[in-house]
Amino acid sequence: MEIKDFHTYQEQSRKTWNDIRMDHSIVYPTLGLVNEAGEFAGKIKKIFRDKGGVISEGDRQALASELGDVLWYLTQICTELDVRLEDVAAGNIDKLFDRLARGKIHGDGDNR
């Protein structure tokens, strides 16, 4: 399936959401996001441990698949919060470009 924008992805991905029977439906995708980020990190760890840090084409595809899993959970969190994924993306790039324009792209703190 071709996905041309975040809105389409958010709509389509929701069709694969299983209605989780939890009192707090934000918990499941939050744990899933961290789990999938960990799977990505684990693959990077093994590439450095076993392959000298050289990323093969197979590794690249496996890493991209994990990033897709991260994206799925991130998107479900947005939906659970009634937030549009495209607004999250736009807000993030606006924040970063503002920091870049003010010479504050490096450093730390949420409100630079």
63 interacts with Mg ion by CB under 5 A: no
16: DSSP letter? T
Nearer to Mg ion, 36 or 85 (CB): 36
Number of residues located near Mg ion, criterion CB under 5 A: 4
80 binding Mg ion? (CB under 5 A): no
Q: Please, what is the minimum distance in Å from the beta carbon of residue 69 to Mg ion?
A: 4
69: contact with Mg ion by CB under 5 A: yes
The runs of H, that is alpha helices, within 1-112 are 6-14, 27-51, 57-80, 85-101
B/e letters for 82-112, b = 16+ CB within 10 Å, e = fewer, are eeebeebeeeeeeeeeeeeeeeeeeeeeeee
- Encoded one letter per residue, x for contact with Mg ion by CB under 5 A and - for no contact, window 26-45 reads ----------x--x------
Q: What amino acid occupies position 30?
A: T
- Is 11 or 69 the residue whose CB approaches Mg ion more closely? 69
Rounded least distance, CB 30 to Mg ion, Å: 15
Distance CA 10, CA 4 (A): 11
Where on the chain is the footprint of Mg ion (CB under 5 A)?
Answer: 36, 39, 66, 69
